[in-house]
Amino acid sequence: MQILTGTAVSPGIAIAEAVVLDAEELRIPRRMVTKEEIGPEIDELDSALATSIEEIGAQHEDVKHRLGHDAADVFNWHIGVLKDPILRKDIVGLMEGRQYSAAYAVSTVMRGLQRRFMQMKDPLLAERMRDVQDIERRLLRNVLGKSAEDISHLSQEAILVAHDLTTSQTARLSSTKIVGVALDVGGATSHTAILLRSWGKPAVLGLKNLSTHVSGGDTVIVDGLNHMVVAGPDEATLEDYRSKRASFVKLIDALDELREFPAETADGVRVELHGNIEYPFEAGVSRQKGADGIGLYRTEFLFLGDDDPDEEEQYEAYCKAIAGAEGKQVTIRTFDLGADKVTQKKHFEPERNPMLGNRSIRYSLQHLEMFKVQLRAILRAARTGNVRVMFPLLTTLMELRQAKMTLLDAMEDLDEAGIRYGKDIDIGMMMETPAAASQCKEFAREVKFVSIGTNDLIQYLLATDRGNERVSRYYTASHPAVLRTIRDVVRTCVKGGVDCSLCGEMAGEPVYTLLLIGLGLRKLSMAPNNIPEIKKLIRSCSMKKAERVAKRALTFETDAQVTNYLRAETKKLLPDDPI
C-alpha cells in the first residue's frame, strides 16, 4: 500500500481500478487473453519491437546528420533496451504465465523498469527513467496500432491516473465512466483543475510520480477530502474508505435538499450564488444545484476543438446556455485564450512566459475579426434572455475602451445586415490584475459591473504561477495582500454604485465564505457543485458575525494565521462538514 499527498481540487472519495493514461492517450487496460490468442499476441509484440527499432534507427540517422554523433547517441541506448532479450523474455513471461495481453504485459514490465531507475542513487542513471517512458510509449503505440482505445470506451467505473491532462482531455471526462482523477502535476487553480471541479468527481493533483507506480487494474482510492491518493490499499483501508464514502454521499444528498431555499443569512441578508460554467449544458446543472444565475460563462472552451466555431455555432451555444439558465441572468465572458488555453492555430506559437504574454483581452484585440464574430454572436443571443458581456484581464483603460468600441462595431455590422440583437446589454469587466485593482475607481466609471477574478488576481499579486505545483504553497487566497485588495475593490464599487461580484475559485471554498460576505460581497459565482455547501454556510451565520470575522482576518500578518482563523470560525458553523 502506498499513500501520496497532493492538492485536492474536487472533494469526495472514489474507489476503483486504475486506468493509466500516458501522454499519447493510450489506455492500457488489464486485459486477459485465451491460450489460443497468446501466439498471435506474441507475434504482435515481435512486430512492434521490430517496428520500434526501425523507427528509432531512422531517427538516429536523422539526428546524426543534423546535429552530430553525440546528440544521436541517446537513441543507441533506446535500441539497446528494445533489443535486450531479457526485456522480451519478461514480457512474454507475463503473457504466457498470466495470459496478459501484449499491451498490458508491455506496460507492466516497462513501468517496473521505470521504478527501478527511479530508485537508483546515481542521478545520471535515475534520469534514464524518462528514456524508458519514451520507449514504453513508442512500443505501446506500435503494439496497439489502430486498435488503440480511449477512455470513452470504458465498460466499468475507473480512476484515471496520468502525468497530466490537457483541457480538451479533461473536458471529455463527463461522458465516461471515470469516477476519480489522480495526476502527477497541476495546481489548484490550473484550468485542468477548474474543469475537474466543475465535473464534480474526486480529484487530486500534484502527486509527483504516481503514474509510474500504478498499473492499469490496480485498486486506487482518491481521497479528495484529505488531499490523498492510496494505491494498492489493504482490505482494512478499503473497508474504512467505503464507510467514509457512504457518509459523504449522505452529506451531499442533504445539501441538495437546500436547492429551493435562498442563500440568506440568519439576520435576513440575501446573497446571490451563481454558477461558473464552461459548456452550455452546465447552465442547467447550475440551476439544478440552486444557482441564481450564471456568473461566469468561460467561452474560450468553445475554441479548443479542432476548428474555431463560426458565428452561428457560437450563437447556438450561447442560446443553449441562456435557455438552461431558465430566465436567470447569464454573464458571458469573451474568450480568454492564450497561456494554457490555446486554439489549434496557436499550438505552434510558443511564448517564453505565456501567463504574462499574448493572452485574454490582448489576444482578442490583436485578432479583431475573430473578436467581432464572438461579439456579434453574443449580441444576437442577448435577445433570448437576460445577458451581460464581460471583458477579461484588463490592465489599462485603453483596453477597455477598445473592447467597447469593438462591441459598437459589431452592433453596426448587425444593423447593416438587418439582424436583430440585444441593444441594451450591460458591459462589465473582470478585475483580475493588480493594475486594474489599483485603478478600480477609474474603471468603475466606465462599466455597469465588476467581477473579481481571484484566480489570476492572486497569481499576479503573489507572482506565483497558479498551474505550477512546485510553487503551489505560495499561491494562497489567504495572503493579507489578497484580502486587502478585495476589500478595496469592493469598497470602491459600492461607493461608485457599481455591481460587484467575485467569480474566482475562492468563491466556492467554504473557508472564505464568511470573509467574503463580511467584506461586503453580495454575489458569489462558483462551480455548480459548490453552491449547496456555500448556501448552507450562509444560512447558518449572521451578517454581523461575518463582518466581525472579516474585520479580524484583516488584522493578521501571515496567510497561515488567516487560514487557521477562518477555518476555526467556519468549523463552528459546519462542524460535520469536511472543510
Task: Indicate which residues carry an active-site annotation.
Answer: 191, 503
Residue 271 identity (one-letter amino acid): V
Enumerate residues 6+ apart whose C-beta is below 8 A from 402: 365
Q: Are strands 228-231 and 219-223 parallel, antiparallel or unpaired?
A: antiparallel
363: its cell numbers = 489576444
DSSP state of 204: E
Which run of H or E residues covers position 19? strand 13-21
> Using CA atoms, how far apart are residues 128 and 543, in angstroms rounded to an integer?
58
Cβ contact 12:239 at 8 Å = no
> Using CA atoms, how far apart are residues 164 and 305, in angstroms rounded to an integer?
18
Cα 504 to its chain centre, rounded Å, is 13
- Among 112, 82, 77, 81, CA closest to 94: 112
Order of strands, sheet of 7-10, starting from the edge strand that comes earlier in the sequence: 2-5, 228-231, 219-223, 13-21, 158-162, 178-183, 203-205, 7-10
Residue 20, CA atoms < 13 Å, CB-side half-sphere: 27
Cβ contact 8:225 at 8 Å = yes
Residue 272 identity (one-letter amino acid): E
545: its cell numbers = 458575525
Enumerate residues 6+ apart whose C-beta is below 8 A from 470: none
371: its cell numbers = 473578436
Enumerate residues 6+ apart whose C-beta is below 8 A from 449: 331, 388, 390, 426, 428, 429, 498, 499, 500, 501
168: its cell numbers = 480538451
> Using CA atoms, how far apart are residues 526 and 290, in angstroms rounded to an integer?
12
> Using CA atoms, how far apart are residues 87 and 82, in angstroms rounded to an integer?
7
- Among 1, 198, 19, 5, CA closest to 107: 19
> Using CA atoms, how far apart are residues 493 and 550, in angstroms rounded to an integer?
18
Enumerate residues 6+ apart whose C-beta is below 8 A from 395: 433, 435, 436
Q: Which residues on neighbouring strands pair with residue 16, listed in sequence order?
A: 220
> Using CA atoms, how far apart are residues 369 and 256, in angstroms rounded to an integer?
44
Residue 5's φ and ψ, nearest 5 degrees, are -110, 145
Dihedral sign computed on CA atoms, order 138, 139, 140, 144: positive
Place of cell 513508442: 138
